[in-house]
Structure 1
Amino acid sequence: MVPLWVVVVLVAVPCGWALRERRRRLRDLGARTWNLERERESAARQAVEAERARVARDLHDVISHSVSVMVVQAGAARLGTDGETGEALRAVERTGREAMTELRHLLGVLAPSADGDALAPQPTLARLGGLVDRIAFAGLPVEVTVSGEPRDLPAGLDATAYRVVQEALTNALKHGASDARAEVRVSYGTRSLRLEVLNTGPSVLTGTGTPQPEHKGGGRGLAGLRERVAVYGGDLDARRRLGGGYRVRARLPLERA
C-alpha cells in the first residue's frame, strides 16, 4: 500500500512543474507580443516619416523651382523698366522671396533635418558659431574669418547664407580626408555679401582622391542652393581647387535684399 503523501507528491510535483512552465511560456509570449508591437509602431513611424520626406521633396521640386524661376525672370524684366511697371515687378520679386522663405520653413516642419535646425527658428549667420562647433566636434577643424561691418539681413537671405556655409561644410566633412581642415570667409560689402568655404584635400594634379560630389537629394544640395541664391540675384560656384581640396563661393547682393 503506497502512502498517501507519496501519491500527493507524485501528483503535485509534475503539476508544479507544468504550472511553472505555463507561466514561463506566458511571460515569453507577452514579451514577444510587446516586442512585435514596438516593431510595428517603429515601422509605422518610419513609414510616416518617409512619406512626409517624400512629400517635402515633391513640394520643393515643383513649387520651389517654379517660384525661383518666377522671381529671377521678374528681376531680369525689371532691369529694363521703370516707373509703375518697375515697382510692380519689384513687388513680385519681394513677394516671391517671402513665399520661398515661408515654403522652406513649412517644409522643414514637414520633414525636419537630422540636426534639428528645421524645428528651430530660421538659421542665420549669427548662429554660425554653433554650426562650426558641431562640424569641428565631428572631426573637421574650421577657421572662420569675418570682414566688413556685419549688418542685419532679411530673414530669407540670412537663412540662405547660412545654408550655403552649412552645405559646404557638411560636404567637406563627409567627403574630405581624415586630416582635412576647412576655412569659412564671410565678407560684408556695401553692395554684396560674399561667402567662401575652403577645405583641404588631394590635389587634382596628383590624380588621387575623388571629386567632392554635389548633393542633389530633394533639391537640398549645392544644385538647390544655386537656385536659392539666384532668387536673391546672386551666384554660387563650387569646384575642386588646383592646390587640393574643394571651394564653394557665393555672392548675395544686398541692395536687392
Structure 2
Amino acid sequence: MDIADGRRLRRQVRAVLRPEERLPKLPRWVFGADAVFAVLVTVVVLLAMRHSVIAWQGTAPVPPAPAAPLPPSAPAALPPVVNPVPPDTKDYVFATLRALMLAARRRLPLATFWVVLIAARADFFLPTFVTVLTCGIAICAAALHSRNPAPVLGSFALAAVLVTTTFQNAASNLRELLVIMLVLGLLGSAGRFWRLRQIAARLRLTELRQEQEAAMRRAVEEERSRIASELHDVVTHNVSVMVIQAGAARTVLDSSPELAKEAMRAVEAGGRAAMAELRHVMGLLAASGTGASGAAVNGRPAEELEPQPGLGQLTALVQRVRATGLPVTVTVSLPPVPLPAGVDLTAYRVVQEALTNTMKHAAGAASTITIDHDDQWLTIEALDTGGTPGVQSLSGNSRGLLGLRERLTVYGGTLDAGHTIGGGYRLKARVPWSTP
C-alpha cells in the first residue's frame, strides 16, 4: 500500500467515524457537562473495581474445622485452594479508557462504541450493571449521532456476533443483556435512518416545488414585461398619431373643413391600425395561454391572425407619421436574404419607437431613418433635427427605450441613444442578422 492509498483509507475511516452531520455551535457548558459526566462515570467504574477486589479477597480459604479422625485406610480430603487475583494496572487503564471515552460520544460515536465494547471484553472485575451502563451509553451515542446507516447497522450486527462468541469469561447474564441492547440499538438506528430519509425526501420535494414556483413566477414576470413592451409599442405610436391628427383637425375645423375631414380620416386609420395590432397581440397571448394550434381565439380563427409587423410594413408606418406633418426621410438597404422573424420585428419596433419619440418630444423636427447592413450586422439609425416638446412628452417614462434594449439584448444587439451637438436626438441600434 503506497502513501496515497493510506491517505485514502484514513479519509474513509474518518468519514465513517465522524458524526451524522456537523454539530451546531454549542455553548461551552455542553462540552463541560460531557466532560463532567465522563469523569463521574470513571469514578463509578474505579470504585466498582475496588469493591470488586475487596469482595474477591474476602473469599480467601478458611481452615476447616477439626473433624473426627478418619481410619488410616482413608486419606483426608483437602479443601480447594483459592488464589485471589486482583486487577493490575492494565485492568485499571482499560476501565478508565472506556469511561473517559464517553466524553467524545457526540463527535466520535462509532469510535466510542468500539472502544467501550473492546474494553468491556478485556475486563473481568466490573459488576454487570457498570458494564451494561457504559455499553448502553455507547450504543445510544452510536445510534443517535452516527452519520451513515451502513456502518452503524453493520457495527451493531458484528458486535452482537462478537459478544455471543468471544464473551466466554464474562458474567453469565452479561452476554444476553449486551445482545438485547445491541438488537434494540439496531432496530432504533434503522428506524432513525428511515425517518431521516423520509424527512430528506420531503425536503427535496419542498425544494423542488419552491424551484417550480420560482420558475413560474419568473416566467409570469417575463410574460408581463413582454406584454407591457408590446402594448407600449402598439398603443404609444398609434395614439400619438391620433392625438396629433385630432389636434390638427380641431385647429382647422372652422376654416378648412376638408382638411379637418382628412385629419379625422387619419385618426380613424390610426385607430383601426391600433385595434388590429392590439387584437393581434392579445390573440397571440390567448393562443400561447391555451396552447391550441389552429383553434379559434376570442371567436376569431387562428389562421386569420395577422403576422407580426416587420420592415415590410415600414412604408405604411412612415405614411402614418408623415400624415401628422412630420417630414421623414427613409433609406433602406436590406440583406439579399430574408431577415429572421425576430430581427425583422425588432428592427420595425426600433423605427417605430424612434418616430414616436420624435412626434412626442420634438414637434416641428425632421426625421431621417437609415437602415444598412454588412455581412453580419443590421444597423438602424434614426436622427431628428430637434424641436419643441409636445404635450405628450409629459407622460414619458422611458419604458420604450428600456423595452428596445431588452429586445436587442435577446438577439445580441446594442442600442445607443442620446442628444446630438446640434440639438437633435440620435438613436442607433445594431443587431446581428446572420450567424458568422
Give the structure-1-normalised TM-score: 0.51
Q: What do the CA deviations read for 1:156-211 (whole angstroms, capped 9, x no partner)?
A: 11101100000000000111132x10000000221010000011116xxxxx979x
Superposition pairs of residues 151-230 of structure 1, within 5 angstroms: 151-178=337-364, 180-201=365-386, 215-216=396-397, 219=399, 221-230=400-409
Q: Which runs of 4+ in 1 moved over 6 A?
A: 58-61
Superposition pairs of residues 15-164 of structure 1, within 5 angstroms: 62-63=221-222, 113=235, 114=238, 115-116=274-275, 117-118=277-278, 119=280, 120-147=306-333, 149-164=335-350
Distance of 1:175 and 1:250 partners within structure 2: 20
Q: Is the 8 A contact 2:229 2:403 kept in 1?
A: no
Identical columns (%)? 44
Distance of 2:219 and 2:362 partners within structure 1: 28
Q: Is the 8 A contact 2:332 2:370 kept in 1?
A: yes
Residues 112 and 135 of structure 1: CA distance in aligned 2, closer, same or farther (over 3 Å): closer
Amino acid of the structure 1 residue aligned with 2:376: R
Q: 237, 254, 257: which one pairs with 2:416? A: 237
Amino acid of the structure 1 residue aligned with 2:422: G
**Partner of residue 426, structure 2:** 247
Residues 197 and 112 of structure 1: CA distance in aligned 2, closer, same or farther (over 3 Å): closer
Distance of 1:104 and 1:256 partners within structure 2: 28
Shift of 1:213: 8.9
Residues 106 and 249 of structure 1: CA distance in aligned 2, closer, same or farther (over 3 Å): closer
Distance of 1:189 and 1:166 partners within structure 2: 22
Residues 131 and 60 of structure 1: CA distance in aligned 2, closer, same or farther (over 3 Å): farther
Amino acid of the structure 2 residue aligned with 1:142: V
Shift of 1:216: 4.0
Amino acid of the structure 2 residue aligned with 1:131: L
**Larger Rg, first or second structure (1 or 2):** 2
Distance of 2:228 and 2:308 partners within structure 1: 7
Give the structure-2-normalised TM-score: 0.31
Distance of 1:172 and 1:182 partners within structure 2: 7
Distance of 2:344 and 2:421 partners within structure 1: 30
Q: Is the 8 A contact 1:136 1:142 kept in 2?
A: yes
Structure with the bigger percentage of strand: 1
Residues 222 and 112 of structure 1: CA distance in aligned 2, closer, same or farther (over 3 Å): closer
SS of residue paired to 2:337: coil
Q: Which has the higher contact order (CA 8 A, sep 6+)?
A: 1
Residues 107 and 129 of structure 1: CA distance in aligned 2, closer, same or farther (over 3 Å): closer
Distance of 2:410 and 2:309 partners within structure 1: 18
Q: Is the 8 A contact 1:216 1:222 kept in 2?
A: no
Q: Is the 8 A contact 2:381 2:426 kept in 1?
A: yes
Unaligned runs of 5+ in 1: 1-57, 67-102, 203-207
Q: What do the CA deviations read for 1:40-83 (whole angstroms, capped 9, x no partner)?
A: xxxxxxxxxxxxxxxxxx999921599xxxxxxxxxxxxxxxxx
Residues 177 and 61 of structure 1: CA distance in aligned 2, closer, same or farther (over 3 Å): farther
SS of residue paired to 1:156: helix
Q: Is the 8 A contact 1:139 1:173 kept in 2?
A: no
Q: Is the 8 A contact 2:385 2:425 kept in 1?
A: yes
Shift of 1:151: 3.0
Distance of 2:411 and 2:402 partners within structure 1: 15
Amino acid of the structure 2 residue aligned with 1:189: D
Distance of 1:182 and 1:253 partners within structure 2: 24
Aligned length: 153
Q: Is the 8 A contact 2:362 2:386 kept in 1?
A: yes
Q: Is the 8 A contact 2:340 2:433 kept in 1?
A: no
RMSD of the alignment, in Å? 3.7
Residues 139 and 62 of structure 1: CA distance in aligned 2, closer, same or farther (over 3 Å): same
SS of residue paired to 2:309: coil
